[in-house]
Structure formats: C-alpha cells, structure tokens
Amino acid sequence: MQGKIPGSFYDGRGQEATAVGAALAMGPDDVACPLIRDMGVHLVRGVTPAEMLRHYLGKAGAPMEGRDGNIHLGAFDRGTVPMISHLPEMLPVGMGVALARRRRGLEAVAIGFCGDGASCGGVFHETLNLAAVWRAPLVVIVERNRYAYMTPEDRYLPTPKIAARAAGYGIRAWSVDGNDVIEVAEVVGEATAAARRDEGPGLIEAFTYRMHGHGAHDAQTYVPTDELELWKAHDPLLIWRARAESELGWSPRDQEMLEHRVAGEVAVALDDALSAPYPDVRHLASSVFA
C-alpha cells in the first residue's frame, strides 16, 4: 500500500501446507512449477527471504533480476520454474522439463500445481492425457481451494472429487488434507517415488482453502462469513503446531523462539531488499532469445 511493489500482491494464506509439504518431498533434480499461492516451494528450495523481497520490489539480486513481478519468479538452479498467469499452462512446461532431464539421465520428477478452476481448463486434460501416454514423470497437485477467482466451485465443477478424473487417463490418484503439511509431504513423496520408478504420472487432490481474496485488490466479500470462520479453525499453521505439540513436545517457548527468529530474518531481509539497487538497464535484453 506504500506503492513500493509494482503491480498487485498475491499470497497463499491458508494454503501454506500444500506448498511446503510438496517441496519437502522433492528430490535434488526435481522441478516444480509453483503458482501464486505457492511461495513456500521457493523458500523450501532455497530462495532466501531477501531474494523474495528483492523480487517483489523489482531489484537486482533477485532470481529474476527485476524481470516480471509479484509471485512470477523461478530459480532454475534450485528447481523452480517461473509461472505463466494462465495457471494450467504451467503443467506442460513442467512435464517438458522433467522429460528433458530424464533424457539426460537424471531421475527427475516434475511437480505441477494448479487450482480447481484451472483443472477445468483444456490444457489440464491434454497434459494429463499425454503424460499418461508417455508415462511422463509428472505429479499434478490440484489445490482444491473452492474458488476460481470469485466464482464458487459449484458453478464450474461437475464432480465432487477431481481425483476421480484420473481413472479416465489410467493414472494413479491420491486425495490429501492440503492443510496438514506432514500428510502432504507423505502423499507427494509416494507419488514422486512412483513416477521415479517409471510407473507414470499421478494426480493429487489437496483439499485446502484460500483465506484471503484472489489478490490484495480483492476484499473477498463474496465468501460466506461462516465458511471462512470454519476454515480458520483448520488453519495449516495451527494444525502443524498441534501436531508438533503432541508428537514432538513442542512448547509455547519453542513457538515464541521460532516466531522471534523468523521475524528477525524477515526484518534483515527487508532492509536488504529496500537498500538493494535496481537492475542495470543495459542488461535488460540478456534473457531475450532474439
């Protein structure tokens, strides 16, 4: 709102566990095509908070060196590919990268993300069909967050379970609580292991919820208040903390120390990004093919 970020702002509040859990299941040569809700993938794969904030501000030293904006970024050296706004369009890109790496002898799997709205797009079906024919090492994660921008799923989705569509392609499918990071990591790990064994692609339906509007410009007034309150109780951060307390003995002091450490890291990263220079315009065309 200070005008420092070019363009709008999009966040993945409420969907953190899907992105983080999926990234934790990736191997060193795997590639992911994260979307606007999936900043956690970049962070798990090693993109630093300073790099993320430099990117948002269009500064030098970011993975895209000031090119493009908001969450349109990728770090090829860490296995993430910059996104295309039309969300299912990233699925064939990820499949192509995975196939190319497989031809080079790498045990690479691609993880492609899309929403339930994007799962109704033609490219979604075409990619899964071709991936099945080629037995491509592709795992598609549908983030079932119940809205395609402002449109509720009962207006565009004719099936109660998107995972059921996998039968039409002859591929395996999984359903998972997309707000439980441990469950997501386990299911994605199983799917990527199968793809690595040359058992073909897989489809994962992760049930989650978008806690904010489509972007900073969207007040989310079309979402019923009771629905939003229901999902607040299923916040992935609360679920993780409850599991940590019961399974690891995580204490309030541990939580306080973690939040203090993260706040400090973000403050340092923000100072770094604000003081960073803008890119030299002489290098503007360095990534243009012709």
User: What pLDDT does 200 receive?
Assistant: 96
Smallest CA-to-CA distance from 25 within 200, 163, 261, 204 is with 204
Residue numbers of the domain that contains 50: 16-278
**In 16-171, where do the E strands start and end?**
31-33, 110-115, 138-144, 147-148, 151-152
Tokens of 56: 């948002």
Please name every residue paired with 151 in a beta bridge, in sequence order, or none if there are none.
148
Other CB atoms within 10 A of residue 50 CB: 20
Distance CA 228, CA 221 (A): 11
User: What pLDDT does 87 receive?
Assistant: 81
Asked, for residue 155, whether it belongs to a domain, the answer is yes
Asked, for residue 121, whether it belongs to a domain, the answer is yes
Asked, for residue 40, whether it belongs to a domain, the answer is yes
Smallest CA-to-CA distance from 83 within 114, 60, 108 is with 114
Domain count, the chain: 1
Asked, for residue 8, whether it belongs to a domain, the answer is no
Low-confidence ranges of the chain (pLDDT < 70): none
Distance CA 238, CA 70 (A): 27
User: What pLDDT does 122 receive?
Assistant: 95
Asked, for residue 285, whether it belongs to a domain, the answer is no
User: What pLDDT does 287 receive?
Assistant: 76
On whether the CB atoms of residues 92 and 121 are closer than 8 A, the answer is no
Distance CA 255, CA 252 (A): 5
Distance CA 237, CA 15 (A): 10
Specify the CATH number for the domain of residue 221. Answer: 3.40.50.970
Residue holding tokens 């690891």? 248
User: What pLDDT does 69 receive?
Assistant: 83
Asked, for residue 173, whether it belongs to a domain, the answer is yes
Residues in contact with 124: Cβ distance below 8 Å, sequence separation at least 6, in sequence order: 88, 91, 114, 118, 140
Q: Report the alpha-carbon angle 194-198-200, nearest 5.
A: 70
Asked, for residue 7, whether it belongs to a domain, the answer is no
User: What pLDDT does 289 receive?
Assistant: 75
Asked, for residue 229, whether it belongs to a domain, the answer is yes
**pTM here?**
0.96
CA distances 141 to 111, 135, 231, Å, are 7, 17, 20
Distance CA 181, CA 187 (A): 10
